[in-house]
Structure 1
Amino acid sequence: MALTLSFVRETNQVLFAGNSCVKEVILNRPHKLNILNHEMISQMKERLALYENDPSVKLIILKANGKAYCAGGDVISAVTSSIAGHWTYPASFYKKQLTLDHLIATYKKPVVSLINGVVMGGGAGLSMNTNFRVVTERTVFAMPEASIGLSPDVGASYFLSRLPGHFGEYLGLTGRRLNGAEMFKCGLATHFVPSKKLNLLEKALYSVTTSDSSTITALIDKFTEIVYLKEGSPLKRLDTINKCFSKGTVEEIVLSLEKEIEVNGTEKWIADALNYMRGSCPTSLKIWLRSVREGRVQSIEQCLSRDYNIACHFFRRTISSDFYEGSRAKLFDKDNKPTWDPPKLELVTEEMVNQFFENVEDENWECLQLPHRPNITSKL
C-alpha cells in the first residue's frame, strides 16, 4: 500500500465565532469531510470548557463548513500511528474523543447542532447527544463501523438504543443510511429545517439571550417544515424490524430476515440489510448486539466507558486483527475484500465476545475515567 504524506500543518481546522451570548464552534476541514483528528478534538474540548464556565454565554451552535457535517474520526491516522509505533497511540486519541463526547452530552448549557450533510461515526458522537439536533434534506446519517472491523461506538449504544423498538439494533447491524426526514421521524433529530432556511435560522439564533429550552425550541420551530417518509423507508417497516431484530443472536436475526423474504418476497431494505451483514465483520456484529442491549439500561458514562474498552481491544490486536484488516480492505488497498477472523458468525464464540467487554490487561492501559458532572442528565 502507498501512502501520501503531507508535512504541511493544517490550520484553522476548527473555527470559533459568535457574540457575547451565543458561541459557534465550526468544523473546518471540508476537504477531509470534517473528519476529526486529535488537534480538532483538543481545541473543541478546551473552548467548550471555557464557554461552559462563562456566565455570559447562553447557547452553543455546533456546525460545519462544506458538504459534510462530520464523516467520523480519523481512522487512517489511528491505524498508521499504531503500526508505526504502539497501539496506545490511537487509544490516547480515542480517549480524548470520548471525553469530548461526554462533555457535550452533559453540557450545562443548550447546544444546537446544525447537521447539513453527512454525519457518521465520530460526527454522531458530537451531535446526537446535544439538546437540539437540526437536520435538512441534505443530511445523511449512518454508523458503518462493522464494515471496517470496529463496532458502532462514541455512545451509539446509548443514543441508538433509545430509538423506537429495535431500530437501534437494525441501524448498527446493517449500517443503514438515514436521510433527514427519517432522522426526525425516529427521534435522532429534534427538528427538520430546509437547507435554504438554515442561514436564517443561524442568524435568528444569534439573537438568543437565554438558556431557556422552551424559548430556543419556539425559535427553531419557526423555521421547521413537515416531512414525509418515502415509501421504501425502513421506518415504514418497523413492525418487521422489531420482529426480526429483537431475536437473541445475530444468527437468529439473519435467519429471521431470510424467512421474511421467503414468506413475503424480496424487499430492498431486507436485501440491503443481509448484504451488509454478510460482508461485515462477524465479531463486530456480535459485539454491537450485546452492546446496544446493555446500553438500553445504562448511563451515557457506562456506554462510553464500554466503547473505550472495546476499541482498545481492537487497537491492541490480541483478540482480533479485524480492525486492521477491515481498514486495509476499505481505506488503504480499497479492494473491499476483507478476510475476517473468524470468517463466519457461528465461529465467533461468546467467550471471544466477552473478552472485548473486559478491561485490557496491559501496563500501558488505564480505564476511561470520565469527570463527575453532578445534576447533569443526557439530552435524549
Structure 2
Amino acid sequence: MTVNTMPSDAVLFEELASGSDYKIALMTLNVPEAMNAVDLDMVNLIDEQIEHWNQDNSIAAIIMRGAGEKAFCAGGDIRKLYDSMTHSDESQRLQYADAFFAGEYAKNYRLHQITKPLIAWGHGFVMGGGLGLFIAANHRVGSECLKLAWPEVRIGLYPDVAASYYLSRLPYPAGHWMGLSGSHMNTTDSKKLKLIQYAISHERWQTMLDALLEQNWSDNRAVNHQQVRAVLNQLDGDSSEAMPASQLDEISTDLEYLFSTPELEDIAARMKQHKTKNKWLKQGLDNFKKACPATAHLIMQQIEQGAQMSLKEVVSWELTLAYQAVRHPDFSEGVRAMVIDKDYKPKWQHKTVKDVPFEWLRQLTTNPWSEGNHPYSEL
C-alpha cells in the first residue's frame, strides 16, 4: 500500500493505493481535542477536496472518519459562532456566522450529490453539523459507540443541516422525540430508523479498510457501490453481538402517550409532568424542560413543512432560519450558558412554549432575500 497524504491543520486527506488501478480516498477530521468540530476553513477544505475526488477517475470510493475515540464530529465550532454573534465591532459582527452557515449547508447539499461510494464511519458523537456531514454519505456506518443527535434545542438554534428533511421522514414520533429532546440515538436505533445502514464494531475499522483496498474496482460506479455494500454487509453481520440494545423499544409506550396529541402545548405539558425510571427517557425529558421554547415551535414547523419539501428546498429554507437565528438572542444566549460560561442556566426570551408569540416565530422564519437573490438560487 502506498499513501499520498495532503495534510492540513484540521483535516487530513489521503489517497490509498489499492490492488487495482484505482485508489481509495480517506478524509479524517483531525481535531480530536474539540471532538472534531468543524469551522469555516474546514468546511471549505472538505468541500473542495471531496468534489475533486468525485471528479478524479482514479478514485473509486471515498471514506470520511473522525480522529480519536470520542467523535466523528460533534458539530460546528460554536465558540467562533458566538464570537461572531457578539462581536463588539458592528462592521464585523455576524460576518463569520453568515459565511459559516452558507458554506456549511451548501457543502452538505453537494455531498448528497456525490455519485461515487461515499462511506462515513460514525464512531462516538455524531451531532449537529457533524451529523449533517455524516448523513450526506450514501454508505453510513455506526460503531457500537455511536451517539447520533440533533441537540440544537438545548442551545436555542434549531435542528439544521437538512434535519427538516430527515426528521420529518422518520416514523412517528421518532423525529419529534429526537428534535424536541435532543436525545442521542445509539447504533441499533439509528439503524432501525435508517439513519445508518450498517452497524460495525470499531475494532473492525482496519478489516473494513483492508477489504475495500482489495476490491477489483472499475469505472462502473454502480458496480463499485455493490462491492461496498457486500463488504459492509458482511462486517455488519459479524458485529451484531457488539451492538447495544434498542433504547426506543424500551420507551415505546411512553412515547406513544407523550405524542398522542399533535399540539405542542399539550406535548410540552406531558413531557414536563411525565415520570419515569428509564435513564435515557428521563435525560431526554430533562433536556426538553430546559430547552428553548421558540426552538420547540420551530421544530414542529420543520417536521410539518419539511415533509413536503425536496432536499434543496429544505437546505434553502434552513439557511433562512440560520440567518434569523444569529440575529435573535436565544441562540447566543444558549451558547453562552451551555458552552462559554457553562452555568447551564440560559435565560430564554420566553419561559414556556405558551409564551412564544406568533410574531416572534414569523420573524425567525422570514426570508430576508428578495426573489432570485437567495444565496442558493444557483445551487
In which range does the TM-score fall when normalised by the shorter chain?
A: 0.7 to 0.9
Partners of 1:57 and 1:240 in 2: CA distance: 48
Alpha-carbon shift at residue 289 of structure 1 (Å) = 1.2
In the TM superposition, residue 34 of structure 1 has moved relative to its aligned partner by: 0.6
Give the equivalent residue in structure 1 for 2:9. 12
The 1:335/1:82 distance shift into structure 2, 3 A limit, reads same
CA offsets per residue over residues 159-191 of structure 1, 9 Å max, x none?
Answer: 222222220111010011122222122211100
1: CA distance, partners of 2:136 / 2:377: 16
Letter in 1 for 2:162: G
TM-score (norm 2): 0.87
Q: Which amino acid aligns with 1:327?
A: V
Corresponding residue for residue 198 of structure 1: 205
What amino acid is the match of 1:340?
W
Q: Distance in 2 between matches of 1:337 and 1:361?
A: 34
Partner of 1:79: 82
1:169 corresponds in structure 2 to 176
1:255 aligns with 2:269: yes
**TM superposition shift of 1:259:** 7.0
Query: Structure 2: how far apart are the matches of 1:113 and 1:132?
Result: 6
Q: Which moved more, 1:175-184 or 1:268-277?
A: 268-277
- Which residue does the alignment assign to 2:3? none
Aligned match for 2:117, one of 110, 122, 127: 110
Matches within 5 A, 1:282-361: 282-317=293-328, 321-360=329-368
Structure 1 residue identity aligned to 2:300: L
- Aligned pair in 2 of structure 1 residues 257, 107: CA closer, same or farther (>3 Å)? same
Distance 2:171 2:273 in 1: 23
Deviation at 1:55, TM superposition (A): 2.4
Show the counterpart of 2:245: 230
**1:173/1:285 contact within 8 Å kept:** yes
Contact 1:33 1:70 in 2 (8 A): yes
Contact 1:301-1:370 within 8 A present in 2 as well: no
Say yes or no: does 1:70 pair with 2:73: yes
Shift of 1:266: 5.6
| Percent of residue pairs identical | 27
CA distance in 1, matches of 2:213, 2:264: 47
Q: Which runs of 5+ in 2 are unaligned?
A: 1-6
Structure 1-normalised TM-score?
0.86
Decide which of 43, 64, 81 is 2:45's aligned counterpart: 43
One-letter identity of the residue aligned with 2:315:
L
**1:320-377 deviation digits (Å, cap 9, x = unpaired):** x011111111111111111100121101123321222221269xxx6331645xxxxx
1:204-219 residue pairs with structure 2 within 5 A? 204-208=211-215, 209-210=217-218, 211=221, 212=223, 213-219=225-231
Find out whether 1:280 has 2:282 as its counterpart.
no
CA distance in 1, matches of 2:336, 2:195: 31
Query: 1:25 aligns to what SS in structure 2?
Result: strand
Measure the CA separation in 1 of the matches of 2:209 and 2:260: 40
Partner SS, residue 137 of structure 1: coil
Query: SS at 1:163's partner residue?
Result: coil
Deviation at 1:156, TM superposition (A): 1.0
* Deviation for aligned residue 1:48: 1.2
**Contact 1:17/1:24 (CA < 8 Å) preserved in 2?**
yes
Shift of 1:236: 3.8
Partner Cα distance (1:196, 1:339) in 2: 43
Query: Quick one: which amino acid aligns to residue 207 of structure 2?
Result: L
How far did residue 57 of structure 1 move?
Answer: 2.1
* C-alpha distance after superposition, 1:36-89 (max 9, x if no partner): 011111111111111122223221111111121101001110110232222232
Structure 1 position 105, deviation (Å): 1.3
3-state DSSP class of the match of 1:303?
helix
Deviates more, 1:164-173 or 1:221-230: 221-230
Q: Distance in 1 between matches of 2:209 and 2:258?
A: 41
Question: Given the superposition, is the C-alpha separation of residues 243 and 162 from structure 1 closer, same or farther in structure 2, using an over 3 Å criterion?
Answer: farther
Number of matched pairs: 354
